[in-house]
Structure 1
Amino acid sequence: MVEVFVPDKALDAGGGGRWLLLLAVALALIGAAVIVVDRVAARVVDATGDLVTAATAIGDGDLGVRVEPTGPRELTAAGHAFNRMAERLVALRADERELVADLSHRLRTPLTALRLDAEALESDDTSIGTFSEAELDRRRGIRRIRQAIVTLEGEVDQLIKTTRKAVGQEPAPARCDVSEVVRDRMVFWSALAGDQNRPHRVVGAQLRIPAPVPRAELAAALDAVIGNVFRYTPQGTAFEVAVSRRDGWVAIRIDDAGPGIPDPDRALRRGASDQGSTGLGLDIAKRVALQANGSVSIDRARLGGASVVMLLADPEATPRQVNRFGLVGRMARDAREPRDRARRWPRPR
């Protein structure tokens, strides 16, 4: 048995320095680990942010955006896949435009024949002479045929010119003046309404009201909805077109005094129709509204018939303040958005 006695003073000599050295080494290792993890995480966050930004741009219609694949191997592969997807979207859209242009060009032949036949008809002048009611109706019908052919030829030509544009040279999302478009289209429809003895009026189209959609597409949507009024309501049925701007939204409301729409949900489905038509009229309006981050709803009009409301996002509205309390704020915002989209537009009294 060997017994060794070491005094406490000798045992503790130099211990404080060693503990400080160990603590310094531990802190240095922790700091180095934090820096390395931060740099790696920063690369991942930057690469993910670039993908999110590019995906948002693609969703907004900018098909020319691409990403520089960086970061970990998985994110690099995702970047390459995103670029391939964007290239494929450009090719598919170009093919679709060419197909539309070709089909539109094929319409020119029957349109030319119709125009020649319309020109061979008798005069449509009703301002000179005295005519019977039947003769007035016949001449007004000839005038409508000629006006419709001219309008259709113009639309086909515009469609061909638009679809022939190179996808890579497309301008930024266009804007138009909603009031100006409504006034212009009502000049056309008012003439037909006068022939059919339809009372009509335009409300709120005096001031400039911008919308983030091309003018031609908004005009096509208006023609589709107003054309349904003429197609599915009896002659003499009143209708009204109203434009308003409020709370970051632009509303275009088309009311009529007809029988109404018994199944609004079915009417908004593409290709669904109870009237034997193609079922694409309201779908055209819905696609234009979605392009402007809006929506289309159908309700009962004050006139007694159907009320079709197109909501378009106001491009000049002040952006709303977003709750920035992390995940809680995002969850609250996501829960609030569906209610904002589903709200009904109040009609002016």
Structure 2
Amino acid sequence: MRRWLALLAAAITSLVLVALLVPMALLIRSVAESGAMARATGAAESVAVAAGSPDLVLTVEQARGGPFPVTVFLPGGGVLGAGASRDDAVRLAATGRSVTAEAPGGRAVLVSALTPQGTVVVRVFVGDAELTKGVREAWLGLALLGLALVALGIVLADRLALAITRPIGAMAQVSHRLAGGDLTARAAPDGPPEVRSVALALNHLAGRIDDLLAAERESVADLSHRLRTPLTGLRLDAESLRDPDEAARVSARIDELQRAVSAVITEARRRTGEQQSCDAAAVVSERATFWSVLAEDQDRRMDLDLAPGPLPVRVGAAELGACVDALLGNVFAHTPEGVALAVRLSPGVRLVVADEGPGFPPAALERGRSGAGSTGLGLDIARRTAESAGGAIELSTGPGATVTLTLSPPLTIS
């Protein structure tokens, strides 16, 4: 924007200067010509005053050293001073008229004077150099003045553009911070009134987003909190079962559900503007160890290839743990017992969960559709976790199934 404003100022200033300086340059040339012709006429008249007197020859000799060559045509055909031909302009001036005529290399001023012997014609030649004396210097001065004015216009336009682009750039940085999750970012109202109005509107929008997210978190937290009551009832029903093994199994499921509800409440109440991060190596290792016990019970070979940490990623430990649980849970839920699986974590951060099962159905990544009799939310949880961490998920099938998650490191917000 600064460049365009500078070009616009240069174009407008140039047009104004052309409209002003070209007539001024022509006027300077006209004034120079008029001055030279006036001086030549004065010189011719001063010589014509001495016509018919003994001082004529002396006057012509004195004029010889001046800037204008002087020629005096006498009535008898004689000529004094600089050599010149008796042309039509001279013959016209001999009739008693003062004449200005064009001549090769300049102009001629002819003044006639009546004497007892007849009409004397005084011719003064003005060369082109005298007609344009000082014009080039004046034009050069005008050109330098024009360039200086254009440069000044560009500098002023750049300062004006900077007063606009600087607050706009600051607002762009604020918008990036808001997009990165820093809801405390606010723009400083600065610049012209219109730009300040945009900054105030951006701040109002950021505040409104913060209020809406806070209200949403509270609503989700309250809804999650209400689930504690039926969970308590389920726990009491489980404890009343007569079969101890069945009671323990149901209680374990209730404990797992209780932990999930608590995690939802914690996540709903956490401050959204605070950037979450964790060590992917530690989280994946911990969850893989947890699932390895079940893999051993089902005679599954579980190959682990985990890069040493720390491997920081832009997602919380709870979210990443839930993502790993969803991926490994899919393997255990949708492949027969004894099917091998592998978990690989490489720097980058790249998480791969592969198995030797039947593979994925075509609509595996569509929320709520698994094609295998489940809710279809496991892979959707993994997809949303990857996208929230600035990464992506990739599925491949046949033979077996492979899920690849690419996660990004935490943002550095300046």
The answer to whether 1:256 aligns with 2:355 is yes
2:261 paired residue among 141, 150, 156? 156
Residue by residue over 1:130-160, the C-alpha shift from the partner in whole angstroms, topping out at 9 and shown as x without a partner, is xxxxxxxxx4x76554333223322322332
Partner of 2:365: 268
Cα distance, 1:39–1:206 mapped onto 2, change above 3 Å: closer
Aligned to 1:215: 317
Q: 1:28 matched to which residue of 2?
A: 148
Give 1:206 deviation, angstroms. 4.9
Q: Is residue 241–residue 254 contact of structure 1 (8 Å, CA) maintained in 2? A: yes
Match of residue 202, structure 2, among 82, 85, 91 = 82
TM-score, length of structure 2 as denominator length: 0.63
Report the count of equivalent residues: 292
1:229 aligns with 2:348: no
Contact 1:272 1:279 in 2 (8 A): yes
Displacement of 1:40 = 1.8
Counterpart selection for 1:48 from 152, 159, 168: 168
CA–CA distance in 1 between the matches of 2:308 and 2:315? 19
Distance 2:296 2:231 in 1: 26
Within 5 Å, which residues of 2 pair with 1:153-302? 153-167=258-272, 170-171=273-274, 173-204=275-306, 206-245=308-347, 249-263=348-362, 266-300=363-397
SS in structure 2 of the partner of residue 287 of structure 1: helix
Cα 1:75–1:279 change in 2 (3 A) is farther
Q: What residue is the counterpart of 2:14 in the other structure?
A: none
The equivalent of 1:116 in structure 2 is 236
Relative to structure 1, the CA distance from residue 91 to residue 120 in structure 2 (aligned partners, 3 Å threshold; closer, same or farther) is: same
Partner of 1:338: none
For 1:163, the aligned partner's letter is A
Q: Aligned partner of 1:295: which letter? A: A
Give percent identity, aligned residues only: 40
Structure 2: runs of 5+ lacking an equivalent: 1-96, 101-108, 110-124
Report the alpha carbon displacement of residue 273 of structure 1 after superposing the two structures with TM. Answer: 3.2
Q: Deviations over 1:213-237 (max 9, x none)?
A: 1101101111121222222223333
Unaligned runs of 5+ in 1: 125-138, 317-349
Cα 1:276/1:74, change in 2 over 3 Å: farther
**Whole-Å Cα distance in 1 between the matches of residues 337 and 247 of structure 2?**
18
Q: Which segments of structure 1 move beyond 6 Å, counting only runs of 4 or more?
A: none
* Aligned-partner Cα distance in 1 for 2:217–2:131: 88
**Per residue, is there more strand in 1 or in 2?**
2
2:190 to 70, 77, 81: 70
Following superposition, the deviation at residue 205 of structure 1 comes to 5.3
Contact kept? 2:354, 2:402, Cα under 8 Å: yes
Describe the shift of the 1:11–1:244 C-alpha distance in structure 2 as closer, same or farther (beyond 3 A): same
Residues 198 and 120 of structure 1: is their aligned pair in 2 closer, same or farther, counting only changes over 3 Å? farther
CA distance in 2, matches of 1:35, 1:46: 16
Instruction: Give secondary structure in 2 for the equivalent of 1:242.
Output: strand
Can you list the C-alpha shifts for 1:9-46, whole angstroms capped at 9, x where unaligned? Answer: 54223324422331232122112211111112212321
Cα distance in structure 2, aligned partners of 1:121 and 1:282: 35
- Tell me how far apart the structure 2 counterparts of residues 299 and 166 of structure 1 sit (CA, whole Å): 36
- Give the Cα–Cα distance (whole angstroms) in 2 for the partners of residues 157 and 244 of structure 1: 31
Q: Secondary structure at the match of 1:308?
A: strand
Look up the match of 1:306.
401
SS in 2 for 1:7: strand
Alpha-carbon shift at residue 116 of structure 1 (Å): 2.8
| Compared CA separation, residues 143 and 211, structure 1 to 2 (3 A) | farther
Larger Rg: 2
CA contact (8 A) 1:182 1:205 kept: no
SS at match of 2:396: strand
Judge which range, 31-40 or 154-163, deviates more.
154-163
Give 3-state SS (helix, strand or coil) of 1:68's partner: coil
- Show the counterpart of 2:43: none
8 Å contact from structure 1 (residues 144, 192) kept in 2 = no
TM-score in terms of structure 1 length: 0.73
2:327–2:353 CA contact under 8 A, matched in 1: yes
